[in-house]
Amino acid sequence: MKRREFVGGLAMAAGVAACADKSAEDCSGTVSSGETFEWNMVTSWPPGLPGVGTGAENLARRIEAASAGRLKIKVYAGGELVPALEVFDAVRSGTAQMGHDASYYHRGKVPAAQYFTAIPFGLTGSEINAWFYYGGALELWHEYYDQFGLIAFPAGQTGVQMAGWFNKEINSVADLQGLKMRIPGLGGEVMQRAGVTQITVPGSEIFTALQTGAIDAAEWIGPYNDVSLGLHKAARYYYYPGWHEPGPTLQCSINKEAWNTLPEDLQSIVELACQAVNLDMQSEYIYGNAMALDQLNKDPNVELRELPEDVLELLQEESEKAIAELSAKNEWAKRLHDSLSNFQAKSSANLLVSEISYLKHRID
């Protein structure tokens, strides 16, 4: 029933956009207030960064166009209005009405929120979308964020990421010991358990940190964005797979008081635009990563490597321990993990006889 209501809301938003230039009363007879709103959106992204950065700008444009200019949103890159990693607090306090970032950046304040981005060895991009839109996770997200005075929607998807750029070879578990690595979220905690020194820095600072030796390794997103930041010029070894972020989702967070000032048709337009950008960004990354990886494969200064099996096994073991400990001490983490793991088990069985089987034969 909730899903049908959501689809109905999307249809209403489309109708409003189509009829907005006719009168204050839309084609269905619903009367809109005609009131206009000007909001600020703060983000965690470097200005103009393909995908995540331009996705936030795309979201603002879509909302303004669909609302016929009734809701205008000014986008600020990370550091322009608030520091890149302080989007959650800025939106919660009302400094900005809207934010665009990744929920796991705020795991210190809201530990369970990282489930809405990604957890190690968790759902892929397509799976996490299914969990959000049909598996009840979106409703859980709204319930969880309500206590912070926020509402949030999926608003971007990068697909399976890479394990990262390294200035030294990783041939065994021993090579992880003492390594200084930029890696956020639960993946960062797992790396710490494996002997790595975990460091969190904004995307805009990764290149310099790698180049100067302040860090030995860094994960960012994947080939599409990593090339745009020039990370292939700061480190030689590019490892895969992205065990820590198999399908990371970005969030559009909105101050609940600001959200409640919007009439229902504008709320529906915002929700519709978030879903459109979520799908659009996922498609952009599938294409962009393929093109950028082709470029990197031709670069003699880059070595593409798979993480050794013993390293992946250790990381999976430590991931399971970290997730179990988080679920044991955080009620919301347990609720979210129970929901996610129940779906993941069924989805894995389906993927085994569908996409995995097909891709094995296509690629081989």
User: In this structure, are residues 203 and 229 in contact, taking their beta carbons and an 8 Å threshold?
Assistant: yes
- The C-alpha angle with vertex 270 and arms to 46 and 60, in degrees rounded to 5, equals 35
Same domain, yes or no: 107 and 187: no
Residue 353 lies in a domain: no
Same domain, yes or no: 99 and 136: yes
Task: Supply the range of the domain harboring residue 68.
Answer: 2-158+246-286
φ, ψ dihedrals at 16, nearest 5°: -65, -45
User: Measured in Å, how far apart are the chain's first and last C-alpha atoms?
Assistant: 43
Residue 250 lies in a domain: yes
The pTM for the full model equals: 0.89
Helices (H), 255-308: 256-261, 264-297
Question: How many whole angstroms separate alpha carbon 316 and alpha carbon 303?
Answer: 24
Residue 341 lies in a domain: no
The CATH number covering residue 173 comes to 3.40.190.10
For 57-103, the pLDDT digits (tens) are 999 999 999 999 999 999 999 999 999 999 999 999 999 999 999 99
Q: Per-residue confidence of the chain (364 residues) as pLDDT tens digits?
A: 444 454 445 444 444 444 444 434 444 444 456 899 999 999 999 889 999 999 999 999 999 999 999 999 999 999 999 999 999 999 999 999 999 999 999 999 999 999 999 999 999 999 999 999 999 999 999 999 999 999 999 999 999 999 999 999 999 999 999 999 999 889 999 999 999 999 988 888 999 999 999 999 999 999 999 999 999 999 999 999 999 999 999 999 999 999 999 999 999 999 999 999 999 999 999 999 999 999 999 999 999 999 999 999 999 999 999 999 999 999 999 999 999 999 999 999 999 999 999 999 999 8
Residue 294 lies in a domain: no
The CATH number covering residue 257 comes to 3.40.190.170
Residues shown for the chain: 364
Question: How many whole angstroms separate alpha carbon 184 and alpha carbon 44?
Answer: 13
Same domain, yes or no: 250 and 235: no
Q: In what order do the strands lie in the sheet with 237-240?
A: 197-199, 180-182, 217-218, 164-166, 237-240, 303-306
Question: How many whole angstroms separate alpha carbon 193 and alpha carbon 270?
Answer: 40
Same domain, yes or no: 186 and 52: no
Same domain, yes or no: 66 and 196: no
Helices (H), 78-151: 87-93, 125-134, 137-146
Question: How many whole angstroms separate alpha carbon 219 and alpha carbon 313?
Answer: 19
Same domain, yes or no: 235 and 263: no
Question: How many domains does the chain fold into?
Answer: 2
Long-range contacts for 187-193 (Cβ within 8 Å, ≥24 apart)? 187/120, 187/219, 187/243, 187/244, 187/245, 188/244, 189/322, 190/120, 190/244, 190/315, 190/318, 190/319, 190/322, 191/244, 191/315, 193/318, 193/321, 193/322
